[in-house]
Amino acid sequence: MTKTIRIHLQQGAQTLADVTLSTSLDQGKLPQLLQYIHDLTQDTIPAAPGTIRAQDAAALKTIGKKYLALAEYLARIQDDTTTLTFNEIEQLLGAPLPATARGQHARAWWANTDTHSQGKAWLAVGWKTITINPEQETVEFRRK
């Protein structure tokens, strides 16, 4: 009779890992396995390019439809900073940005606050705005 160890990690409805090991596991590999499991529980394993981390996937469910595409885009980025033009953001959203995103109140519109749906979108997936340039119509985001 073979003895096995089953490790099942789940966050909400999403399975993070489901591993079955034979008790004959090479003891030298056990520390690696334990570190991997620890990293899963800390969400420190980098996501593959183009994928969304588990914590970001959960956060996306809390975002309204209007800015969801922007949040999804940011959630997939692997770099720590990114600069987008207002036009690129409008293409993601499939709609124009409001005039306040461009006008004299642009910095307030791009503020890192979750009291407005646009700010909630990027904050929820771990990003913040750091440079807003209304003249060049660009915004730089940095991972929090």
Distance CA 76, CA 23 (A): 37
Q: Give 79-135 pLDDT, tens digit per residue.
A: 999 999 999 999 999 999 999 999 888 999 999 999 999 999 999 999 999 999 999
Euclidean distance between CA atoms 99 and 104, whole angstroms = 9
pTM as predicted: 0.65
- Give me the residue spans of the domains in the chain: 4-42, 54-143
Q: How many CB atoms lie within 10 A of CB 109?
A: 20
Per-residue pLDDT tens over the stretch 37-48: 666 555 544 555
| Number of Cβ within a 10 Å radius of residue 39 | 12
